[in-house]
């Protein structure tokens, strides 16, 4: 009889869903021993739980409120020329000056061009900050660095002054090499002698191909310019003689005032630019291993070297490998103690092992499912994430108590009809409570620089897993166990 009830229980869709998710989660986590005999998993750990470093970069630019009596386009163009930097219009009343100036230094330039400085805020616009974030992420990915976070700090006025980069698994020297020296990428054309003229910034490069070798054995990197960038490039090539005398008017790619690539236009490209605009080009880097290495380095710079503004390192810090291991051990102990404490509290309340065991197992199953979810989406586990998992243990057991108390009215398991009504009432209470938690956690989950973002996301996922999967399964399991 008991075997039949167990078979029926395992066939129930709620219980079956829970079992399938548990199996899939264990597969996703993939606990196994590495070559050194240490137990490892597919889980990725953040800066708190392993060696790593963080850098906070300050944007060397400012957003300025202004008024002018001149036509806006003329005013912006003249101001850009006099300041010797890019000036971008943020909106009708604000300009982004992509170079570090104080307000006192800017005011004479504005007055000379027929304008007035109304407000001054160090930093860049939200749109530029989003672009910097994308570029830095591409830079880090291209360097093969894993487990990195890039977040910009944007104020209520939509001006961002800092960007913070966290990289797990690297030391401070590596972090400085990857991020700290990041600068502005520029394409210039040689005019006379060693003189060059600016043509494009890297933000006009819309796509970059992986390094490839042509039929002659030459390595190169193909890249594509935007329509506006291609037009500007063609005009500059013709103007400075690069199409008629490529050898004496070479193309130079510069990062942080350092030339990373220099070569004349190919005869085919020079010829085609005379008659038409060309968006797709290839930068050749040579043959053999050296050519391949140069192509790889150039690909990285083309993909992610084009920060629209200069940056400086405003702060930094690191976590040692030993400290990260200590934190990880403490988190594991905290999780185990939390689960044991929950079991003792439940046993003290009900004094019934048949109730305690299902509750604890269901509670632990939520953690396993969440870890599987974390593993699948490659979410980094840090201290706030661990705190979220422990919070799920607490909120989860609260909801299981609600279900148990509703079903066991005066210690008696009701009939099937009454049971379903009581379970529905309990689940309604749980859904309302879950909705409240989701609404409360949503702002934290959406904040870019919130250190509690991981906590909020895991708490929200725990609530959803509980409401959709584990609570209905527990309601079915507890009734089958207690019904005699």
pLDDT (mean) for 242-263: 80
Tens digits of per-residue pLDDT, 422-478?
888 888 888 888 898 889 888 888 775 556 778 888 999 999 998 899 988 988 888
pTM: 0.60
Tens digits of per-residue pLDDT, 140-154?
765 555 557 788 877
- Res 366 pLDDT > 80: yes
Tens digits of per-residue pLDDT, 205-239?
777 777 888 888 888 888 888 888 888 888 888 88
Contact 57, 165 (CB under 8 A): yes
Which two structure tokens, joined as six digits, stand for 166?
Answer: 């966290």
Return the percentage of the chain with pLDDT > 70, whole number: 88
pLDDT (mean) for 81-107: 89
More confident call, 250 vs 96: 96
Q: Start-end ranges of CATH 1.20.1640.10 in the chain?
A: 2-49+320-482
- Res 483 pLDDT > 80: no
Distance CA 385, CA 459 (A): 9
Distance CA 79, CA 201 (A): 18
What residues pair up with 252 in beta bridges, in sequence order? Answer: 188, 262
Q: Which CATH class is domain 2-49+320-482?
A: mainly alpha
The count of other CB atoms within 10 Å of the CB of residue 19 is 12
DSSP string, 73-104: HHHHHHHHHHHTS-EEEEETTEEEE-S---HH
- Res 164 pLDDT > 60: yes
Tens digits of per-residue pLDDT, 393-413?
888 888 888 888 877 765 556
Torsion angle of alpha carbons 262, 228, 235, 74, nearest 10°?
A: -120
Distance between terminal CA atoms of the chain? Answer: 11
Q: Start-end ranges of CATH 3.30.1360.200 in the chain?
A: 185-308
More confident call, 472 vs 378: 472
- Please give the pLDDT value at position 182: 45
pLDDT (mean) for 350-369: 87
pLDDT (mean) for 190-202: 81
- Please give the pLDDT value at position 195: 81
Q: Show the CA angle centred on residue 208, arms to residues 207 and 212, nearest 5°.
A: 150
Looking at every residue in the chain, the average pLDDT score rounds to 82
Return the percentage of the chain with pLDDT > 90, whole number: 14
The count of other CB atoms within 10 Å of the CB of residue 467 is 19
The CATH number fitting domain 185-308, selected from 1.10.3720.10, 2.40.50.140, 3.40.50.1000, 3.30.1360.200: 3.30.1360.200
- Please give the pLDDT value at position 109: 92
Contact 115, 75 (CB under 8 A): yes
- Res 348 pLDDT > 60: yes
Helix (H) or strand (E) holding 389: helix 383-407
The residue length of the chain stands at: 484
- Please give the pLDDT value at position 1: 44
């Amino acid at each position: 009889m008991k075997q039949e009830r167990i078979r029926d229980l395992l066939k129930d869709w709620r219980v079956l869903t829970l079992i399938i998710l548990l199996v899939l989660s264990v597969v996703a986590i993939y606990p196994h021993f590495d070559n050194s005999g240490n137990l490892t998993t597919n889980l990725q750990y953040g800066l708190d739980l392993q060696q790593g470093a963080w850098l906070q970069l300050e944007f060397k630019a400012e957003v300025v409120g202004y008024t002018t009596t001149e036509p806006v386009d003329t005013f912006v163009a003249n101001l850009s020329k006099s300041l010797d930097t890019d000036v971008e219009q943020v909106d009708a009343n604000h300009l982004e000056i992509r170079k570090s100036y104080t307000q006192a230094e800017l005011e004479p330039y504005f007055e000379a061009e027929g304008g007035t400085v109304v407000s001054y805020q160090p930093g860049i616009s939200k749109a530029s900050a989003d672009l910097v974030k994308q570029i830095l992420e591409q830079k880090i990915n291209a360097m093969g660095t894993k487990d990195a976070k890039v977040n910009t700090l944007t104020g209520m006025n939509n001006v961002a002054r800092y960007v913070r980069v966290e990289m797990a698994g690297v030391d401070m020297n590596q972090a400085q090499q990857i991020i700290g020296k990041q600068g502005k990428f520029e394409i210039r054309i040689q005019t006379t002698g060693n003189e060059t003229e600016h043509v494009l910034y890297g933000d006009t490069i819309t796509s970059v191909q992986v390094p490839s070798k042509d039929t002659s054995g030459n390595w190169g990197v193909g890249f594509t310019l935007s329509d506006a960038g291609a037009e500007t490039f063609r005009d500059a090539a013709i103007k400075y003689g690069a199409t008629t005398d490529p050898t004496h008017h070479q193309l130079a790619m510069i990062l942080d005032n350092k030339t990373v690539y220099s070569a004349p236009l190919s005869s085919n490209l020079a010829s085609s630019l005379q008659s038409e605009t060309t968006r797709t080009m290839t930068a050749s880097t040579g043959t053999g291993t050296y050519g391949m290495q140069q192509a790889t380095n150039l690909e990285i710079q083309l993909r992610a070297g084009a920060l629209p503004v200069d940056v400086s390192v405003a702060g930094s810090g690191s976590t040692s490998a030993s400290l990260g291991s200590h934190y990880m051990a403490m988190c594991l102990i905290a999780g185990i103690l939390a689960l044991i404490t929950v079991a003792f509290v439940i046993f003290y309340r009900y004094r019934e092992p048949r109730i305690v065991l299902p509750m604890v197992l269901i509670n632990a199953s939520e953690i396993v499912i969440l870890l599987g979810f974390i593993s699948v989406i490659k979410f980094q586990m840090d201290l706030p994430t661990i705190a979220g998992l422990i919070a799920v243990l607490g909120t989860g057991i609260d909801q299981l108590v609600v279900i148990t108390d509703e079903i066991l009215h005066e210690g008696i398991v009701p009939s099937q009809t009454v049971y379903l009504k009581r379970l529905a009432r309990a689940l309604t209470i749980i859904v309302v409570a879950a909705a409240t938690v989701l609404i409360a956690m949503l702002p934290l989950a959406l904040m870019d620089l919130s250190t509690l973002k991981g906590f909020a996301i895991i708490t929200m996922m725990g609530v959803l897993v509980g409401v959709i999967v584990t609570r209905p399964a527990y309601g079915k399991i507890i009734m089958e166990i207690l019904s005699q």
